Amino acid sequence: MKMRPPATPIINIDPYFSVWAEESVLNNTVHWTGKPNTIRGRVFVDGEEYHFLGDKGGKPDMEIENISVDAHSTVITYKNNAIRLVAHFTSPTLVEDLYYASRPVAYCKVSYESLDGLAHEVKVKFSVSEELVLNKRGEGRAYSQPVKVEGVSAQRMGKGEQRVLHRSGDDIRIDWGYFYLGVKGEAALGNEVYRDMYAVYATAELKSEALFLFAYDDIDSIQYFGKNLKAYWKKDGKTIEEAIAEAAKDYDALLARCDEFSNKLWDEATACGGEKYAELLQLALRQVMAAHKLVVDEEGNNLYISKECYSNGCAATVDVTYPSAPMFLKYNPELLKGMLRPVMRYAASEEWDYDFAPHDVGQYPLLNGQVYGVRRKPDGTVEKNYNMQMPVEECGNMIILFAAICDADNSADFVRPYMDTVREWSRYLIKYGLDPENQLCTDDFAGHLAHNVNLSIKAVMGIAGYARILERLGETAEADKMMATAREYAASIMERAKNSDGSYRLAFDRPETFSLKYNSVWDKLWGTGLFTEEFYKGEIARYKKELLPYGVPLDSRERYTKSDWLVWAACLAEDKEDFEILTASLWSAYNTMRTFVPMTDWYYCDTSHMKGFRHRTVQGGLFIKLMF
* pLDDT tens-digit map of 601-613: 999 999 999 999 9
Residue 269 pLDDT > 90, yes or no?
yes
Residue 379 pLDDT > 90, yes or no?
no
Residue 377 pLDDT > 90, yes or no?
no
Q: 550 Cβ partners below 8 Å, 6+ apart?
A: 585, 586, 588, 589, 592, 603, 604, 605, 606, 607, 608
In this prediction, residue 403 carries a pLDDT of 98
In this prediction, residue 399 carries a pLDDT of 98
Of 324, 309, 261, 382, nearest to 567 by C-alpha is 324
In this prediction, residue 11 carries a pLDDT of 98
For residue 561, the tally of other CB atoms under 10 A from its CB is 27
Q: What is the mean pLDDT of residues 1-20?
A: 97
In angstroms, the CA 537 to CA 443 distance is 24
Residue of 380 and 17 predicted with greater confidence: 17
In this prediction, residue 10 carries a pLDDT of 98
In this prediction, residue 191 carries a pLDDT of 97
Of 121, 112, 104, nearest to 80 by C-alpha is 112
In angstroms, the CA 21 to CA 26 distance is 5
CA distances from 205 to 111, 188, 212 (A): 10, 9, 12
Mean pLDDT for the chain?
97
Q: What is the mean pLDDT of residues 152-173?
A: 97
Residue of 223 and 23 predicted with greater confidence: 223
Q: What is the mean pLDDT of residues 352-368?
A: 97
Tens digit of each residue's pLDDT (9 = 90 or more) over 539-581: 999 999 999 999 999 999 999 999 999 999 999 999 999 999 9
Residue 231 pLDDT > 90, yes or no?
yes
- Reduced to 3 states (helix: H, G, I; strand: E, B; else coil), residue 447 is coil
In this prediction, residue 396 carries a pLDDT of 98
Contact 189, 160 (CB under 8 A): no
In this prediction, residue 25 carries a pLDDT of 83
Q: DSSP letters of 480-496?
A: HHHHHHHHHHHHHHHHH
Structural domains of the chain, ranges and CATH numbers in brackets: 8-260 (2.70.98), 301-627 (1.50.10.10)
Q: What is the mean pLDDT of residues 296-312?
A: 97
Contact 181, 213 (CB under 8 A): yes
C-alpha torsion sign, points 314, 315, 318, 320: positive
Residue 596 pLDDT > 90, yes or no?
yes
Residue 618 — very low, low, confident or very high, per pLDDT cuts 50/70/90? very high
Of 328, 298, 271, 259, nearest to 101 by C-alpha is 328
Length of the chain: 628
Residue 380 pLDDT > 90, yes or no?
no
Residue 55 pLDDT > 90, yes or no?
no
